[in-house]
Amino acid sequence: MVIWKWTKQIIIVALFLVATHFLYQFHLGAIPIFLFSFYLFHLAWKEIKKAKIEKQAASQEKNSEPDQDYEKRAKAK
């Protein structure tokens, strides 16, 4: 599955490069670069969301661990 992800990204980058090359001849090379910036923003946004979800999952796991001091106090009573 990871191979498809990288292949898809390489194809998209190659398409943007080809579009830039052809449109640059007509002084329109900034258009695909502008659109490519949206693609890169989308990739960065996905990574940020993934990191945020992982951080929340880690904090939930940490909070779900039983409190050992509480267990000791409960046994002492």
Decide if pLDDT at 48 tops 90: yes
From residue 58, give the alpha-carbon distance in Å to each of 8, 20, 51, 52, 63: 30, 43, 10, 10, 9
Q: pLDDT-derived band of residue 49, with 50, 70 and 90 as boundaries? A: very high
- pTM, two decimal places: 0.65
